[in-house]
Amino acid sequence: MLNYKVRYFLELCILSTIQALQDIDAEIIVVDNFSEDESCAMVKAHFPEVILIENIENVGFARAVNQGVAVAKGTYVCILNPDIVVPKTIFNSLISKLKERTASGIIGPRLIDGAGRFLPESKRNVPSPYTSFKRLFGIKIGKTKNYYATHVNPKEVGKVDVLVGAFMILERALFMEVKGFDEAYFMYGEDIDLSFTIQKEGKENWYSGEDVAIHFKGESTVKNAVYIQRFYGAMRIFYRKHFKYNLLVDTIVSSGIRIVSLLKTAKITKRTKRAIDFYLLISDDLDLMQQVKKTRHKNVILERSKSLEKYLTKDIEILLDADYISYSEIIYLMDMYQRNNFTFKIKPTGCNYFVGSDFSDGKGEVIVLNKL
Express each pLDDT in 101-156 by its tens digit.
989 999 999 999 999 999 999 999 987 666 656 665 566 655 556 789 999 999 99
Tell me the per-residue pLDDT of 293-335, one tens digit each, with 9 for 90 and over. 999 999 999 999 999 999 999 999 999 999 999 999 999 999 9
pLDDT score, position 266: 46
Say what the alpha-carbon torsion angle 147, 149, 153, 157 is, to the nearest 10 degrees: -150
pLDDT score, position 302: 98
Other beta carbons less than 10 A from residue 46's beta carbon:
13
Look at residue 76 and give its three-state secondary structure: strand
In this prediction the pTM is 0.90
Question: Checking DSSP bridges between strand 29-32 and strand 2-3, what pairing results, if any?
Answer: parallel
Helical packing angle, 247-268 and 225-242, nearest 10°:
160
Region for 103 from its dihedrals, namely left if φ exceeds 0, alpha if ψ lies in -120 to 50, beta otherwise: left
pLDDT score, position 53: 98
Look at residue 271 and give its three-state secondary structure: coil
Residues in CB range of 131: below 8 A, 6 or more apart: 125, 144, 145, 146, 147
Q: Which residues of the chain have pLDDT under 50?
A: 266-269
pLDDT score, position 188: 80
pLDDT score, position 150: 93
